[in-house]
Structure 1
Amino acid sequence: MNEGKHLDKNSKHALQNDNIIAITNRHLCSRPFMEQLKRVCKLHPHAIVLREKDMPEAEYLSLARDVIALCKEYDVQCMLHSFINVAMELEHPYIHLPLPILEAYAKKDISANISTDMSKNTDHYQQFFKVIGTSVHSVEDAIRAEQLGATYMTAGHIFATDCKKGLPPRGLDFLKDVCDAVGIPVYAIGGINIPRLTEVMECGAAGGCIMSGMMRL
């Protein structure tokens, strides 16, 4: 069902940098953050998700401007994370939202639809955003995310990782079940490295998300 699914319908389902989504974490960098992101951009991953959720919104807005400009320079898709108001202020139609936030905006849209013409409602997230990502941790999450308008999802954590110490990984069978349940691209997350990309793609995933490996290049 899901063979060849990607954010970009023209991407080839083959092992390459285009199968990688780089996830940022400035706390893992040993060099200046923008310098590190430039190194990542030079690899031309499918996308960079600017996942600096602990930043105040004003700081994230300033950083997002710089990162979006850098990604455009290298023709890499930049996904903002969680800060939907920042994305709208910057008129940047690429967002990754945790599933509870995606659900909240869906409910807001439904409520707004009762009293206004949705074609004139700028809060309608599915009209504004070209690409909407979310994170799922069960097959039920995955099905719900697709219903809410997600255009891709990350599923995990698949392998053991320091980011989830003490929590057992969900494994490749879980990943396959998620990929089989939805019709949009699924990217594995959690303990992913280059050798493991082949494993997750054999389960039907479009690729994998890498954080520490990208932040420590």
Structure 2
Amino acid sequence: MTGRWSASQVRELLRMYLVVGSQNCRSHPLEVVEEALAGGATLVQFREKGPGALRGAPLKELARELQAACRRAGVPFIVNDDVELALSIDADGVHVGQDDEDAGRVRVRIGEGRILGVSAHSVEDARRAAAGGADYLGIGPIYPTGSKDDARAVQGPSILRELRASGIELPLVGIGGITASRVEEVIHAGADGIAVISAITQAEASGEAARQLSRLVSHSLAGRLTS
């Protein structure tokens, strides 16, 4: 793709967003990703951070394996923070946090054709990210989570309502502690989809977990349109 992704395209991609790394999977990451894709995952982010994270050749090898699975399924594959890795494997995009490289600089480095996601924790963060060329915002943690050792303070669904009320129109994905019972609340607060880690990577059946979450997102989005 040579031009920017449209907002409507990105919203579709955010519906069932899997964040995965080798250190947070119950089984081999490739198996988890393949099952999640079969269950309806619409976007996969490779986030290899924290204790025991891969480096060097093993990191790139796993990234390529997961990317190949995504390509077979026709689902975009993006890389968390590591712009060099993303460019070296021709990933579909990059996601950066507030403590990572500036969104505007990342946009220049990756070009217009790749997806740029940015974590935002306030209206000010969101506006800066939008000005820097973000295609979507990752909002959270919405609920308490143990999946990320660098997670910030819990925001609650109210942050999604605040962003929408302030005029933020970029696609939003909620992340952090989102389980099946919380999907409807997150979507009705203003998110276009959910990003999950342990709800799929630690599930006994990753494919079925993804399938259930995907159904709940679709149902919640339909309910929001008619409410």
Q: Please give the range of the TM-score, normalised by the shorter of the 2 chains.
A: 0.7 to 0.9
Q: How does 1:1-217 map onto structure 2 within 5 Å?
A: 8=9, 11=12, 19-53=15-49, 54-103=53-102, 106=104, 124-125=108-109, 127-163=111-147, 169-181=154-166, 182-216=168-202, 217=206
Q: Partners of 2:7 and 2:141 in 1: how far apart? A: 20
Instruction: Tell me which amino acid in the other structure corresponds to 1:146.
Output: A
Q: Partners of 1:164 and 1:65 in 2: how far apart? A: 23
- Structure ID, larger Rg: 1
Q: Partners of 1:67 and 1:155 in 2: how far apart? A: 24
Identity of aligned residues (%): 23
Alignment length, in residue pairs? Answer: 193
Other structure's SS at 1:162 match:
coil
Contact 2:141 2:152 in 1 (8 A): no
Q: Partners of 2:95 and 2:14 in 1: how far apart? A: 18
Instruction: Tell me which amino acid in the other structure corresponds to 2:69.
Output: L
Contact 1:159 1:191 in 2 (8 A): yes
**How far off its partner does 1:161 sit?**
2.0
Contact 1:24 1:52 in 2 (8 A): yes
Q: Partners of 2:33 and 2:10 in 1: how far apart? A: 25
Instruction: Tell me which amino acid in the other structure corresponds to 1:8.
Output: Q
Indicate the RMSD between aligned Cα atoms, in angstroms.
2.7
Scaled by the length of structure 1, what TM-score is found?
Answer: 0.77
Other structure's SS at 2:143 match:
coil
Contact 1:158 1:189 in 2 (8 A): yes
Contact 2:42 2:75 in 1 (8 A): yes
**How far off its partner does 1:24 sit?**
0.7
- Report runs of 4+ in structure 1 exceeding 6 Å deviation: 164-167
Contact 2:16 2:42 in 1 (8 A): yes
Q: Partners of 2:110 and 2:23 in 1: how far apart? A: 32
Q: Partners of 2:105 and 2:30 in 1: how far apart? A: 36
Residue segments in structure 1 that go unaligned for 5+ positions in a row: 12-16, 110-123
Contact 2:147 2:198 in 1 (8 A): no
Scaled by the length of structure 2, what TM-score is found?
Answer: 0.74
Q: Partners of 2:105 and 2:68 in 1: how far apart? A: 32
Contact 1:135 1:154 in 2 (8 A): yes
Residue segments in structure 2 that go unaligned for 5+ positions in a row: 1-5, 207-227
The CA deviation string for residues 93-118 of structure 1, in whole angstroms up to 9 with x for no partner, is 31112234341x63588xxxxxxxxx
**How far off its partner does 1:57 sit?**
4.1
